[in-house]
Homo-oligomer: A and B are copies of this chain.
Amino acid sequence: MSIIVLGTVALDTVKTPFGLRRHILGGSAVHFAIVCRLFTKVNLVAVVGEDFPSRYIKFLHQKGIVLTSLIRTEGATFKWGGQYKGDLNTAITLSTELGVLLTFRPRVSEEQKNIKHIFLANLDPDIQNHLLTHMRSPHLVALDSMNYWIKHKRRSLLRLLKKVDIYVANDQEARTLSGESNLLKAAKYLRLLGPEMILIKKGEHGVLFFSDRFIFSIPAYPTDRVIDPTGAGDTFAGAFMGYLTKVNKINEASIKKAIIYGTIAASFNVEDFGLNKTSRLERKDLQQRLREFRKYVLF
A interface residues, Cβ below 8 angstroms from B? 86-88, 175, 181-185, 188, 202, 204-206, 208, 214-220, 222-224, 226, 256-257, 259-260, 295-299
Contact = CB atoms under 8 A, between A and B. Distances in A.
Given A182-B224, A205-B206, A219-B219, A214 B260 contact: no
**Top-6 shortest CB links A-B:** A87-B181, A205-B205, A184-B224, A256-B299, A217-B219, A185-B224
B181 A223 contact: no
15 contacts: A87-B181, A88-B181, A88-B182, A184-B224, A202-B205, A205-B205, A205-B219, A216-B299, A217-B219, A217-B222, A217-B297, A218-B297, A256-B299, A259-B299, A297-B297
A299 B257 contact: yes
A215 B216 CA distance: 21
A220 B259 CA distance: 17
B226 A222 contact: no
Most chain B CB within a 10 A radius of its CB, from A188, A220, A223, A298: A298
Given A205-B205, A206-B205, A222-B208, A215 B184 contact: no
A219 B204 contact: no
Given A181-B86, A182-B87, A256-B299, A206 B219 contact: yes
Please report whether the interface of chain A is mostly helix, strand, loop or mixed according to DSSP. mixed
Contacts of A220: 217
A178 to B, nearest CB: 11
Contacts of A206: 205, 219
Given A88-B181, A202-B205, A206-B205, A295 B224 contact: no
Given A205-B206, A260-B299, A184 B223 contact: yes
B222 A184 contact: yes
Contacts of A257: 299
B296 A216 contact: yes
B204 A299 contact: no
B215 A222 contact: yes
Nearest to A185: B224
Most chain B CB within a 10 A radius of its CB, from A184, A185, A215, A217: A217
A185 B88 CA distance: 13
B296 A298 contact: no
A259 B215 CA distance: 21
A296 B296 CA distance: 16
A86 B260 CA distance: 30
A215 to B, nearest CB: 5
Nearest to A297: B217
Contacts of A182: 87-88, 224, 226
Contacts of A202: 205
Nearest to A184: B224
Given A185-B224, A217-B297, 13 more contacts: A87-B175, A87-B182, A88-B182, A188-B224, A202-B205, A205-B205, A206-B219, A208-B222, A216-B299, A217-B220, A217-B296, A256-B299, A257-B299
